[in-house]
Structure 1
Amino acid sequence: MKVLKFGGTSVSNTKNILKVEDIVKKESLKNRVIVVVSALHGVTDQLIKAAESASQNNENYLQIIKNLEEKHLDLVKELIPILDQSSWLSFVKKHFNDIEDICNGIFVLGEFTDKIKDKITSYGEFLSSNIIAARLQFEGLDAVWMNSSENIITNSNYTHAKVNFEATEKNLLQFLNENKNQMIIAPGFIAKDEKGNSTTLGRGGSDYTAAIIASAIDADELQIWTDVSGMMTSDPRLVSNAKPIPEISYAEAMELSHFGAKVLYPPTIQPVMVKNIDLRIKNTFDPEATGTLISHQLEKINPENQQIAVGISNMSHITLLTLEGSGMIGIPGFSAKLFQCLSNEKVNVILITQSSSEHSITVAIHEKDIFKAKNAIDLAFEDDLKLKKVEPVKIENHLAIVALVGENMKSRSGVSAKMFGCLGNNGINIRAIAQGSSEKNISIVISEKDIKKAVNVLHEEFFESEIKQVHLYICGTGNVGKKLIQQIYDQNEYLKENLLVNLRIAGLSNSRNMIFSDQGILENEFEDFNQNSEEASAEKFAQEIISRNLRNSVFVDVTASSEVPNIYEKLLKKSVNIVACNKIAASSDFENYKNLKNIARNHSCRFFFETNVGAGLPIIGTINDLIRSGDKITSIQAVLSGTLNFVFNNYDGSQPFSEIVAQAQKEGYTEPDPRLDLAGTDVARKILILAREAGYALEFNEIENESFLPEECMKGNVEDFYKALFKYESHFKNVLEKAKNDGKILKYVAEFKNGKAKVGLQHIAPESDLFHLYGKDNIVIFKTSRYSEQPLVVKGAGAGAEVTASGVFADIVRSI
Structure 2
Amino acid sequence: MQVLKFGGTSVGSPEAIQAAMTIVQEKIKTDPIVMVVSAFGGTTDALLQCSEMAAAGNESFRELIEAITARHLDAVKKLIPIQQQSSLLSAVKTLCNEIEDLCNGIFLVGEVSLRTRDKLFSYGELISSKIITAAFQARKQPVAWWDSRLLIRTDASFGNAQVDFGRTNELLRDSLFELQEPLVVMPGFIASDGNGISTTLGRGGSDYTAAIVAAAINARHLEIWTDVSGMMTADPRWVNNAKVISAISYQEAMELSHFGAKVIYPPTIQPVMNKGIPVWIKNTFAPQDAGTVIQLESYRNGAAVRGISSINQLALLSLEGSGMVGVPGFSRRLFEALSAENINVILITQGSSEHSICVGVEALFADRAKAAVDRAFTNEISLRRVEPLIVEKDLSIVALVGEQMKSHPGISGKMFGALGRNGVNVRAIAQGSSERNISAVIATRDVRKAINVLHEEFFETTLRQVNLFISGVGNVGSRLLQQLQQQQQYLIEHARLQLRVIGLANSKKIVFNEDGINLSSWKQALEMGIPGTIRDFVEGAIQRNLRNTVFVDITASETVAGVYPLLLEKNIAVVACNKIACSAPYAYYESLKKHAHDYNTGFLFETNVGAGLPVIGTLNDLLKSGDRVHRIQAVLSGTLNFVFNHYDGTKPFAGVVRQAQQEGYTEPDPRLDLGGKDVMRKIMILAREAGARLEMEDIQNDSFMPESCMQGSVEDFYKEMLHQEKHFSNIYEQAKQRGNKLKFVATFENGKAAVGLQEIEPGHDLYHLYGKDNIVLFHTDRYAQQPLVIKGAGAGADVTASGVFADILRATLH
Q: What's the TM-score bracket when you normalise by the shorter of the two chains? A: over 0.9
Take 2:714 and 2:524, find their aligned partners in 1: how far apart are those partners?
30
Question: 1:444 aligned to 2:423?
Answer: no
Name 1:163's counterpart in structure 2: 163
Q: Does the CA-based 8 Å contact 2:509-2:527 persist in structure 1?
A: no
Take 1:111 and 1:672, find their aligned partners in 2: how far apart are those partners?
73
Classify the secondary structure of the residue corresponding to 1:788: coil
Classify the secondary structure of the residue corresponding to 1:637: strand
Aligned-pair distance for 1:464?
4.1
Name 2:362's counterpart in structure 1: 366
Classify the secondary structure of the residue corresponding to 1:402: strand
Question: 1:345 aligned to 2:373?
Answer: no
Question: 1:356 aligned to 2:348?
Answer: no
Take 1:112 and 1:478, find their aligned partners in 2: how far apart are those partners?
65
Worse-superposed segment, 805-814 or 251-260: 805-814
Classify the secondary structure of the residue corresponding to 1:598: helix
Which string of whole-angstrom CA distances, capped at 9 and with x for unpartnered residues, describes residues 375-429 of structure 1? 2212222222112121111122112211111111111121112211222111111
Take 1:536 and 1:6, find their aligned partners in 2: how far apart are those partners?
50
The one-letter code matched in structure 2 to 1:805 is A
Question: 1:475 aligned to 2:471?
Answer: yes
Q: Does the CA-based 8 Å contact 2:504-2:526 persist in structure 1?
A: no
Name 2:685's counterpart in structure 1: 689
Aligned-pair distance for 1:325?
0.9
Classify the secondary structure of the residue corresponding to 2:563: helix
Q: Does the CA-based 8 Å contact 2:634-2:775 persist in structure 1?
A: yes
Name 2:151's counterpart in structure 1: 151
Which string of whole-angstrom CA distances, capped at 9 and with x for unpartnered residues, describes residues 647-696 of structure 1? 11221211111001111111111111100001110000011001000001
Name 2:102's counterpart in structure 1: 102
Take 2:8 and 2:494, find their aligned partners in 1: how far apart are those partners?
47
Name 1:31's counterpart in structure 2: 31
Classify the secondary structure of the residue corresponding to 1:524: coil
Name 1:570's counterpart in structure 2: 566
Of 694, 718, 734, the match for 1:738: 734
Which string of whole-angstrom CA distances, capped at 9 and with x for unpartnered residues, describes residues 461-484 of structure 1? 222445322222222222222222
The one-letter code matched in structure 1 to 2:98 is D
Take 1:105 and 1:658, find their aligned partners in 2: how far apart are those partners?
93
Take 2:285 and 2:663, find their aligned partners in 1: how far apart are those partners?
61
Q: Does the CA-based 8 Å contact 2:505-2:526 persist in structure 1?
A: no
Take 2:156 and 2:807, find their aligned partners in 1: how far apart are those partners?
66
Which string of whole-angstrom CA distances, capped at 9 and with x for unpartnered residues, describes residues 251-300 of structure 1? 1111110111111100000100000001011111111211111111x24x
User: Residues 156, 814 of structure 1: CA spacing in aligned structure 2 closer, same or farther, 3 A cutoff?
Assistant: same
Question: 1:552 aligned to 2:548?
Answer: yes
Of 533, 537, 540, the match for 2:533: 537
Question: 1:281 aligned to 2:281?
Answer: yes
Worse-superposed segment, 641-650 or 102-111: 102-111
Of 673, 677, 690, the match for 1:677: 673
TM-score relative to the length of structure 1: 0.97
The one-letter code matched in structure 1 to 2:552 is V
Classify the secondary structure of the residue corresponding to 1:154: coil
Take 1:504 and 1:634, find their aligned partners in 2: how far apart are those partners?
42
Take 1:625 and 1:76, find their aligned partners in 2: how far apart are those partners?
75
Question: 1:608 aligned to 2:604?
Answer: yes
Q: Aligned runs of 1:707-726 on 2, under 5 Å?
A: 707-726=703-722
Aligned-pair distance for 1:527?
4.5
Name 1:248's counterpart in structure 2: 248
Name 1:750's counterpart in structure 2: 746
Take 2:228 and 2:644, find their aligned partners in 1: how far apart are those partners?
70
Name 2:205's counterpart in structure 1: 205
Q: Does the CA-based 8 Å contact 1:400-1:446 persist in structure 2?
A: yes
Take 1:39 and 1:653, find their aligned partners in 2: how far apart are those partners?
90
Worse-superposed segment, 469-478 or 167-176: 469-478
Take 2:798 and 2:466, find their aligned partners in 1: how far apart are those partners?
22
Classify the secondary structure of the residue corresponding to 1:430: coil
Aligned-pair distance for 1:494?
2.9
User: Residues 775, 445 of structure 1: CA spacing in aligned structure 2 closer, same or farther, 3 A cutoff?
Assistant: same
Which string of whole-angstrom CA distances, capped at 9 and with x for unpartnered residues, describes residues 36-88 of structure 1? 11112222122222222221222222222232223223333333343443332
Classify the secondary structure of the residue corresponding to 1:274: helix
The one-letter code matched in structure 2 to 1:20 is A
Which string of whole-angstrom CA distances, capped at 9 and with x for unpartnered residues, describes residues 565-611 of structure 1? 11111111111111111110111111111111111111111111111
Q: Does the CA-based 8 Å contact 1:642-1:778 persist in structure 2?
A: yes
Take 1:365 and 1:244, find their aligned partners in 2: how far apart are those partners?
30
Name 1:404's counterpart in structure 2: 400
The runs of 5 or more residues in structure 1 that have no matched partner are none
Worse-superposed segment, 531-540 or 247-256: 531-540
Name 2:129's counterpart in structure 1: 129
Root mean square deviation, CA, Å: 1.7
Q: Does the CA-based 8 Å contact 1:306-1:408 persist in structure 2?
A: no
Q: Does the CA-based 8 Å contact 2:5-2:207 persist in structure 1?
A: yes
Question: 1:489 aligned to 2:476?
Answer: no
The one-letter code matched in structure 2 to 1:770 is L
Q: Does the CA-based 8 Å contact 1:51-1:106 persist in structure 2?
A: yes
Take 1:655 and 1:243, find their aligned partners in 2: how far apart are those partners?
66
Name 1:20's counterpart in structure 2: 20
User: Residues 197, 661 of structure 1: CA spacing in aligned structure 2 closer, same or farther, 3 A cutoff?
Assistant: same
Classify the secondary structure of the residue corresponding to 2:171: helix
Name 1:311's counterpart in structure 2: 307
User: Residues 62, 466 of structure 1: CA spacing in aligned structure 2 closer, same or farther, 3 A cutoff?
Assistant: closer
Take 1:24 and 1:292, find their aligned partners in 2: how far apart are those partners?
18
Question: 1:647 aligned to 2:662?
Answer: no
Take 1:119 and 1:289, find their aligned partners in 2: how far apart are those partners?
37
The one-letter code matched in structure 2 to 1:702 is D
Aligned-pair distance for 1:228?
1.2
Classify the secondary structure of the residue corresponding to 1:528: helix
The one-letter code matched in structure 2 to 1:333 is G
Worse-superposed segment, 147-156 or 99-108: 99-108
Which string of whole-angstrom CA distances, capped at 9 and with x for unpartnered residues, describes residues 299-356 of structure 1? 4x5x5x8521121112222211111111111222211222222222222222111111
Classify the secondary structure of the residue corresponding to 1:40: coil
Name 1:500's counterpart in structure 2: 496
Name 1:85's counterpart in structure 2: 85
